[in-house]
Amino acid sequence: MYFSILHWYFSVQIYDFIPIQKTKISYLCINVILLNMKILWIDLNSSYAHSSLALPALQAQVIANNSIEWDIVSATINENAGMVVDAIYQHHPDILAATTWLFNHEQLLHITARLKKLLPKSCIILGGPEFLGNNEEFLRKNNFINCVFRGEGEEAFPQWLSCWNQPEQWQSIPGLCYLSQEKQYIDNGIARVLNFSNLVPPEKSPFFNWDKPFVQLETTRGCFNTCAFCVSGGEKPVRTLSIETIRERLKIIHQHGIKNVRVLDRTFNYNPRRAKELLQLFLEFSPDIRFHLEIHPALLSRELTEELQHLPAGLLHLEAGIQSLREPVLRTSKRMGKLNDALEGLKFLCSLPNMETHADLIAGLPLYTLTEIFEDVRTLAEYDAGEIQLESLKLLPGTEMRRNAEELGIIYSPFPPYEVLQTHEISVSELQTARRLSRLLDGFYNTSAWKNITRKLILYNEDFLYRFLEHLTQCNLIDQPMSLEKRGIILYEFCKKNYPLYQTDVSIAWIEAGMSLKKIPAEKIKTKRQIPPASWKVIYGEYKENLRLCFLPLDESTGQGYWFGYESETQKIKPVFKAIDLKNQEPLKIRH
């Protein structure tokens, strides 16, 4: 994915789109002896389901320093700024620090500007992916920020702490950008961790969050690839942890009962030998832990494909970076790997029954047209990708594509999240169409209940995506939150009117999703006093006489159709038995 699964720049931040949940402000204070300095970390995320590695990664490097008191105030971007400021103000810290990224940027500035007024003697330092470019304009515009970090902070941040209140010494701190007392912009380049394998693991920090449904484990830093749209595109060299080090950290994670680990490695399979070693390591923690990986489909070696085929089901969840299925687009974006190899690799990954592979496309890449995006979605559906993630390109600070935007004909927003507004190949309105298409895919294809029928409609009806998207747009539904049930009703009524051959398929999907048999998608099903036929072909489950049977006819003249059985005693909402009626000994015609 073009954000990359993880990027470290003073702090660690994963770009993830997680639904906002109802939350409350919370804070944790860790008291130590010999307090000489108090640092308060502003942990501002999309939601409380989202946890950053930034604080534990940095705090772990100075954990033995008992002259520092660390506080944290956690909040989400949707909470009242005044409430967050009040929670922070109560601590009166010497230093205020935070990660700045696309989706917390604006709210974080509202909070820190207020805090500087209340706590003028506090030093405010920010880091994160937002500061990979030139930071002079930011610092001059937001003069309440004392300094920002560019780069990896685990080694540089402790150096800065030793002279945080002596700005005359800041010029020696790698990655630090600030305005001198004479208002001269000082830029100390980019900080790189030289001894990645020797860093104290973030799991050693008391601020490491073990309460989330997953944890992040960075096994590699840097990226071999050169994608012009990615903040990792120029990040060299690639540094790795040893297999034994990863094993020891996984043991700690396993001891805490964590079930899901997001492996932070931008291209897991760039080194086939190491990839195989990691897969063997992951097997040691099966079936207790599931691993989420980012994989490059163009770089699948024969040895690695053999390995992947024989892994137990559920061990891996794969994110396949594909971005576009067009050679000129990938070439302009400087994405390494041949397109044919990528397509073959992606088709192989999607065919594996023992794991799910998600694929992503990026609207707004130079040379990428809206027509090609629709066609590429159909191709990914043909491959049976587990999910199709269609994102809009964002020109992130520090990326080559942002620097060359004018030359490439890209117009983008100057404010976060820096989304592309127009290119030579795709208009303003077409980018909005692509955004709405992404909403359609998330609501239907990427939802397990409606995926199979949506995929079938996409594959066998070239106009379906266009027509269904137009329908959702005209009905003002595309940007509205819709329940699973509402989506099923909308799809059923749309097919009933426009694709009647697929009406029964939607009914079957509705029934198997455990939806109400009293709603319109189940209007044809017969529920009262159903007696099983003389013969049927069982699709799944085992027939028992105590099952409550329902019959969905396909052809009233022949009496053929589908039978569904429900557990009466357990009151399960989904059928546990499904069969095809073989009445008249005629084979049932099953549509594609």
What would the pLDDT profile of 288-317 be if each residue is shown by its tens digit? 999 999 999 999 999 999 999 999 999 999
Q: Alpha-carbon distance 467 to 465, whole Å?
A: 6
The stretch 331-342 carries a mean pLDDT of 92
Determine the pLDDT at residue 19. 32
512 shares a domain with 408: no
- pLDDT greater at residue 98 or residue 227: 98
453 shares a domain with 426: no
69 shares a domain with 169: yes
- The verdict on residue 2 lying in a domain is no
Q: Is the pLDDT of residue 341 over 70?
A: yes
Instruction: Quote the tokens at residue 404.
Output: 């060359």
- The verdict on residue 439 lying in a domain is yes
E-strand stretches of 329-398: 356-363, 387-392
Query: CA gyration radius for the chain?
Result: 27
What would the pLDDT profile of 66-111 be if each residue is shown by its tens digit? 889 999 999 999 999 999 999 999 999 999 999 999 999 999 999 9
- Are 237 and 197 in contact by the 8 Å Cβ rule? The answer is no
Residue with tokens 């970076």: 321
- Run of H or E including 449: helix 448-460
What would the pLDDT profile of 110-158 be if each residue is shown by its tens digit? 999 999 999 999 999 999 999 999 999 999 999 999 999 999 999 999 9
- The verdict on residue 194 lying in a domain is no
Q: Which residues, 6+ apart, have CB-to-CB distance to 152 below 8 Å?
A: 8, 9, 10, 175, 191, 192, 193, 221
User: For the packed helices 503-512 and 484-498, what is the interaxial angle rounded to 10 degrees?
Assistant: 160
- Run of H or E including 358: strand 356-363
- The verdict on residue 201 lying in a domain is no
- The per-residue b/e assignment along 237-255, b for 16 or more CB within 10 angstroms, e otherwise, is ebbbbeeeebeebbeebee
Number of domains into which the chain is organized = 4
Instruction: Report the chain's mean pLDDT, rounded to a whole number.
Output: 90
Instruction: Quote the tokens at residue 40.
Output: 């308060």
| CATH number of the structural domain spanning residue 355 | 3.80.30.20
Bridge partners of 9?
11
Give the pLDDT band (50/70/90) at residue 592: very low
Q: Alpha-carbon distance 517 to 326, whole Å?
A: 44
Give the pLDDT band (50/70/90) at residue 25: very low
- pLDDT greater at residue 16 or residue 365: 365
Distance of CA 415 to the CA centre of its chain: 22
Q: Indicate the residue among 523, 556, 576 that finishes a domain.
A: 523
Q: Is the pLDDT of residue 564 over 80?
A: yes
In the chain, % of residues over pLDDT 70: 90
- The per-residue b/e assignment along 372-408, b for 16 or more CB within 10 angstroms, e otherwise, is bbbebbbbbbebebbbbbbbbbbbbbbbbbbeebeeb
360 shares a domain with 265: yes
- Are 253 and 245 in contact by the 8 Å Cβ rule? The answer is no
Q: Alpha-carbon distance 188 to 170, whole Å?
A: 9
517 shares a domain with 533: no
- The verdict on residue 278 lying in a domain is yes
Determine the pLDDT at residue 248. 97
| CATH number of the structural domain spanning residue 127 | 3.40.50.280
CA-nearest of 77, 49, 60, 46 to 11 is 60
Instruction: Quote the tokens at residue 378.
Output: 């159909």
Q: Indicate the residue among 134, 153, 187 that finishes a domain.
A: 187
Which region among 336-340, 352-356, 504-508 has the lowest average model confidence (pLDDT)? 336-340
Residue with tokens 């993880």: 6
Residue 178: phi and psi, rounded to 5, are -165, 170
Q: Alpha-carbon distance 322 to 387, whole Å?
A: 13
316 shares a domain with 167: no
360 shares a domain with 472: no
Range of the domain at 29: 7-187
| Number of separate helices (H) and strands (E) present in the chain | 18, 24
Q: Indicate the residue among 502, 523, 544 that finishes a domain.
A: 523
- The verdict on residue 207 lying in a domain is no
Could you please report the per-residue DSSP string of 249-289?
Answer: HHHHHHHTT--EEEEE-TTTTSSHHHHHHHHHHHHTTTTT-
CA-nearest of 18, 81, 10 to 44 is 81
CA quadruple 517, 518, 523, 525: dihedral sign: positive
- The verdict on residue 196 lying in a domain is no
CA-nearest of 412, 447, 226 to 332 is 226
- Run of H or E including 13: strand 11-13
Determine the pLDDT at residue 266. 78
Determine the pLDDT at residue 50. 64
The stretch 243-256 carries a mean pLDDT of 97
CA-nearest of 218, 205, 266 to 245 is 218
464 shares a domain with 433: no
Give the pLDDT band (50/70/90) at residue 534: confident
In the chain, % of residues over pLDDT 90: 79
314 shares a domain with 264: yes
**Torsion angle in degrees (nearest 10) through CA of 255, 257, 260, 263:** -20
Q: Give SS3 for 101.
A: coil
307 shares a domain with 428: yes
Could you please report the per-residue DSSP string of 38-74?
Answer: EEEEEEEES-TT---SHHHHHHGGGTT-TTEEEEEEE
405 shares a domain with 535: no
User: Which letter does DSSP use for residue 6 in this model?
Assistant: -
- The verdict on residue 197 lying in a domain is no
Residue with tokens 């990026």: 362
What would the pLDDT profile of 44-76 be if each residue is shown by its tens digit? 988 766 677 899 999 999 998 888 999 999 999
Q: Is the pLDDT of residue 267 over 70?
A: yes
- Are 549 and 518 in contact by the 8 Å Cβ rule? The answer is no
Q: Alpha-carbon distance 165 to 396, whole Å?
A: 31
The stretch 17-42 carries a mean pLDDT of 53
514 shares a domain with 582: no
What would the pLDDT profile of 371-383 be if each residue is shown by its tens digit? 999 999 999 999 9
